Amino acid sequence: MSIKPEIVVANDADAVAATAAQRITDAAGQAIAARGQFTLVLSGGRTPEATYGILARANPPIAIDWSRTFLFFGDERFVPHDDPRSNFRMAKRCLLARSTVPVANVFPIATDLESPAACAADYARRMAEFFDVSPDDPPPAFDLILLGLGDDGHTASLFPGAAALDENREWVTRSPPGTLPPPVDRVTMTYPLINAAREVMFLVTGANKHVPLTEVLQRQVEPSVRPAAGVRPAHGKLIWIIDHAAAGA
Ligand code: 6PG
């Protein structure tokens, strides 16, 4: 049984970013106090850029102990890390290059192997090594996974109707391009891994997200149609931080 989501409606995109940055900082403090480390999964797209910018500035009370924080990626485009479409490049520009995050604490999804499938298997292996488990074990529980919502209801690189939605064992898989840009192959975390997290936080802004957001929040729709609807952490918290435009308020 998944827990009922918490929905926070902020005024605008800036308020969403400020709220998210504070929540992420609080989650970091709690995880570090409880387990000595904070495992955070970053999302791609444009929406989290402002949140990453606030986290990078590290102005108390928003100041994460980066030495104990380990950063992973929910999905990646199968392009070089310096390509403008790369999610890693965005995180580097907005957060990593502007903060004191140690390079050794950052786990990008490799995109220089022969195929997206090889990159997915490699990422699961590196994750298993980090958590000191086997990739054949049930997925590890990240402290916090950040996600976005596409206009078509996709999240991470889980696209409507895609085979990746049916993956019920692997933690990471390949995903062919969806219908929205950029039209590139992807590597993505799967539902089993996402739904094992202690906390999942969606950041959603803009009127173009209103329809998919409403359908997902009202649970009116199947994950095959709006893949974000398949995000239901089994034991963890689910939080949506959205702005008035997306809420239609
Ligand atoms: C990606 C993403 C994707 C993103 C949504 C929302 O690599 O494309 O991780 O799931 O979060 O498409 O993107 P925006 O924030 O740009 O609207």
- Exposure b/e, 116-139, CB count within 10 A at least 16 = b: beebbbbbbebbbeebeeebeeeb
Contact indicator for 197, 140 with CB cutoff of 8 Å: no
Stretch 73-96: mean pLDDT: 97
Report whether 94 contacts 135 (CB < 8 A).
no
Tell me if 151 CB under 6 Å of ligand 1. no
Q: 87-94 and 49-57 helices cross at what angle (nearest 10)?
A: 40
Query: What digits encode the pLDDT tens for the residues 101-152?
Result: 999 999 999 999 999 999 999 999 999 999 999 999 999 999 999 999 999 9
Nearest atom within ligand 1 for CA of residue 148 = 11
Closest residue (by CA) to atom 8 of ligand 1?
A: 45
Bridge partner list, 188: 75, 173
Q: Is the CB of 87 under 6 A from ligand 1?
A: yes
Q: Separation of 148 CA from ligand 1 center, angstroms?
A: 5
Q: Residue 61 — very low, low, confident or very high, per pLDDT cuts 50/70/90?
A: confident
209 Cα–ligand 1 center, Å: 11
Q: Is the CB of 46 under 6 A from ligand 1?
A: yes
**The pLDDT of residue 204:** 98
Question: Minimal CA–CA distance to 234: which of 201, 203, 200?
Answer: 200
- Tell me: pLDDT of 1 over 60: no
Q: Mean pLDDT in the chain?
A: 96
Q: What is the pLDDT of residue 134?
A: 95
Query: For 160, phi and psi rounded to 5 degrees?
Result: -50, 130
Predicted pLDDT of residue 53? 97
Mean pLDDT of 4-8: 95
Q: Rounded to whole angstroms, what are the CA distances from 3 to 34, 145, 169?
A: 21, 16, 22
Cα of 174 to ligand 1 centre, how many Å? 16
Contact 69 CB / ligand 1 (< 6 Å): no
Burial of 21 (0-12, 13-18, 19+ CB in 10 A): buried
Contacts of 236 (CB under 8 A, 6+ apart): 3, 141, 195, 196, 197, 198, 199, 200
CA gap 64, 12 in Å, rounded: 24
Angle at 15 between CA 14 and CA 18, to 5 degrees: 90
Q: Would you state the pLDDT for residue 180?
A: 80
Give tens-digit pLDDT for 13-44: 999 999 999 999 999 999 999 999 999 999 99
- Quote the percentage of the chain above a pLDDT of 70: 99
Lowest mean pLDDT among 77-81, 93-97, 181-185: 181-185
Q: What is the mean pLDDT of residues 45-73?
A: 95
Distances (CA, A) of 15 to 56, 57, 83, 148: 17, 16, 29, 16
Residue nearest to ligand 1 atom 13, measured at CA: 45
Ligand 1 mean position, distance from CA 181 (Å)? 10
Share of the chain above pLDDT 90, in %: 91
Domain ranges (residues) in the chain: 13-221
Q: Which band of pLDDT confidence, cut at 50, 70 and 90, is reported for residue 170?
A: very high
- CATH 1.20.840.10 for the 13-221 domain, yes or no: no
Name the residue at shortest CA distance from atom 14 of ligand 1.
45
pTM summary value: 0.97
Probe ligand 1: pick from 85, 154, 188, 211, max atoms within 8 Å of CB? 154
The reply to whether omega before 192 is within 30° of 0 (cis) is no
User: How do beta strands 38-42 and 186-189 pair?
Assistant: unpaired
Does ligand 1 have an atom closer than 6 angstroms to the CB of 53? no
Atom of ligand 1 nearest to the CA of 44: 9
Listed in order, strand segments (DSSP E) in 49-168 are 69-73, 75-77, 144-147
* Residue 66 CA: distances (Å) to CA of 63, 96, 109, 131: 9, 10, 20, 18
**Per-residue model confidence (pLDDT) at position 179:** 81
